[in-house]
Amino acid sequence: MNQRTCLSVILAAGEGTRMKSALPKVLHQIAGLPMVAHVVKAAEAAGASGVALVIGHGADEMRKTAAKFAPEAETFVQEKRLGTAHAVIAARAAISKGYDDVLVMFGDTPLIDADTLTVARLRLAEGAAVVVIGFRPPNPTGYGRLIEKGGKLIAIREEKDCSEEERKIGFCNAGMMAVAGAHALKLLDAVGNKNAKGEYYLTDIVEIAGAQGLDVVATEASFENALGINNRAELAQAEAIWQQRRRHEAMLSGVTLIAPETVYFSHDTEIGADTIVEPNVWFGPGVMVASGAKIHAFSHIEGATIASNCDVGPFARLRPGADLRNKAKVGNFCEVKQAVIEEGAKVNHLTYIGDARVGAGANIGAGTITCNYDGYSKFFTDIGEGAFIGSNSSLVAPVTIGNGGYIASGSVITETVPDDALAFGRARQKTIPGKGKELRERFASAAAAKKKAAGADH
């Protein structure tokens, strides 16, 4: 089958009115990726070399988004919604290129897997002209039934047209199918619209192909893999299934998840063996975690790279561009953005490091801030190897702290600090004996007078 070419036609023109959203339905996300992108990934993993997206509602937004996850995909607009076969025919220009296999898929089935599609393609390679993907829902009510005879699929019967015996069939139409490229356009062009809605139904090609003496068979997907999304509740259901699978996969690959149900991964999260993830950790897109790291509870990580044996959190936020090198530590209530924390450096408590480099072995005290933004532009802070930044310091970028530099607590640093230098950037302390007691007595007297006056008013 490796020599067979394959086109994936993905139907993504639906308005998704039940989503109650201005965003096209198939652009709603599962694990940080539009659901239609999950479908594209599955098709590509099953060997599809061409992708045709049939779009309608929000066409401009669809094209813009598709350029990110499927830059080689062709887009075709279904101007009028006249049924599923009509939607597939919108991609006639792509189908006519002569692919061996044509996969017809739906952009709102994000859990479909490559194995299911590969099996369908194998049946085409074995000689079938049409392969319908079916599934067995817990309750088949409302689904079209797959009518088989002698190992062949002879019809897809809508429930309202089923006999009592046919209604007992639990094998239902999932909507997706694979069609031999040599027959695809001929079968599609034979679909008529003589029905109550005047629409062109893709399911009709089953009987059309059978009447032409072509082989039509059914393969089976799991209920979860065939799950279609029509509303926000089903979107959440699909997200939960995806997350459960990814957590299981992570644990089998050597990652410890202390409370798996509370950890959320993104579609591209990479996490190494022997990493320990505590409860309530969220991995946004673009996160790579090497082996042996420890991610403490309630940390939020996005667009970050975490090297081996790093320690993160609890309650840490790593934003895009955070790059933690081997054995670095970012502790509780710290935020790191677009910054390198080099080997063994520590950013322990209540600190913001943005647009910066923290040198190997440096120690950043609690409450330190790199003041990187003047309201218009970002500026860089360079903190050298082995530097010590005292608590509650503000480093006003652009600024450089040399190797081994020592910043006294409470300092505001605006100028370069040479290697091994000590820098103070604060007002000199002044102590007045007895003044504290005098102030307390004055404040207490004023408060009492105010309270007495308030009582007199009542």
Active site residues: 349
Contacts of 356 (CB under 8 A, 6+ apart): 338, 339, 340, 370, 372, 380, 381, 382, 383, 397
Query: How far is C-alpha 10 from the geometric centre of its chain's CA atoms?
Result: 20
Pick from 100, 173, 101, 99: which is nearest to 132 by CA? 173
Contacts of 154 (CB under 8 A, 6+ apart): 147, 148, 206, 207, 210, 216
Q: Rounded to whole angstroms, how far apart are CA atoms 275 and 291?
A: 5
Residues in a beta bridge with 396? 371
Distances (CA, A) of 83 to 88, 114, 193, 231, 250: 9, 26, 9, 20, 41
| H or E segment to which residue 252 belongs | helix 232-252
Reported in sequence order, the residue ranges of 59-122 that DSSP labels E, i.e. its strands, are: 74-77, 101-106
Exposure string over 20-40, b if 16+ CB within 10 A, otherwise e: eeeebbbbbbbbbbbbbbbbb
